[in-house]
Chains A and B, each alone.
Chain A
Amino acid sequence: MALFRSEEHIERWLAGRAPGQTLPVTKLSELALAWWGDRLDPDWRPHTRDENQGILDRLNLREAFWTLP
């Protein structure tokens, strides 16, 4: 899970390997806020699988790539 300067840099870095998924950094930031925002709460409880999938769905990450087991 890495940050790149542009999609051209990703393509060159992949060097023919199958790509994963590329997101704008703004989407990554939204995802991080939803995923990690409660991580230090004193009453933290683990997210359920469905709660985490809901975060991905709400950000329109609905492809099979983003489907939790």
Chain B
Amino acid sequence: MDEADRALRNVTFGLFVDLGRAPTSDQVARAGGVSRDEVRSAWLRLHSAHALVLTPAGTEIRMANPFSGIPTPYRVQSAGRWWYANCAWDAFGVCAALHTDGRIETSCPDCGQPIAIEVHAGCPDDEALVFHCLVPVAHWWDDIVFT
């Protein structure tokens, strides 16, 4: 990843937090002082480097991990906003990335019962819950959306 791509990646993530949702390529272009085509080319390289995940069309952000660009079953209230995370790991990651406490809301995939967790100083208030990761680490990026 060269410096220009790293800088655009940081602009993209910064805008995600400022806006509370995935920025468009036009918004990143304006903030970064480059063209939309340059942003889209950089995003494709960042996608290949697993620094973010684009939609199948390759023009919008699907994941700026730990944040999700689309609604998911993992909602996180943190830093005065609600966010969507890509998975349980990323839900805790939202609080970690924002360096704030938060509240995670989801449901048990087995029984459908709601799960709500308060996170204070990185610690969950319900220690009885368990996390399951189905895909071995070596295969996470074979299909990151499934992972």
Contact = CB atoms under 8 A, between A and B. Distances in A.
B partners with A: yes
Interface of A: 1-7, 9-10, 12-13, 17, 19-33, 35-37, 39-40, 42, 44-46, 56, 64-69
A25 B106 CA distance: 14
Scoring B17, B90, B99, B109 by chain A CB atoms within 10 A of each residue's CB, the highest score goes to B109
Interface residues of B, number: 50
Nearest to A8: B110
B131 A3 contact: yes
B119 A29 contact: yes
A20 to B, nearest CB: 4
A3 B88 contact: yes
A66 B140 CA distance: 10
Nearest to B1: A46
A30 B6 CA distance: 26
A54 to B, nearest CB: 13
B10 A33 contact: no
Given A22-B131, A31-B92, 5 more contacts: A6-B129, A29-B119, A36-B65, A36-B93, A39-B13
Interface of B: 1, 6, 9-10, 13-14, 17, 49, 51, 65-66, 87-99, 106, 108-111, 113, 115, 117, 119, 122-124, 126-138, 147
Contact of B132 (A22, A30, A42, A67): A22
Contacts of A3: 88, 91, 106, 108, 115, 117, 129-131
A29 B91 CA distance: 9
Given A21-B133, A26-B123, A9 B110 contact: yes
Contacts of B135: 20
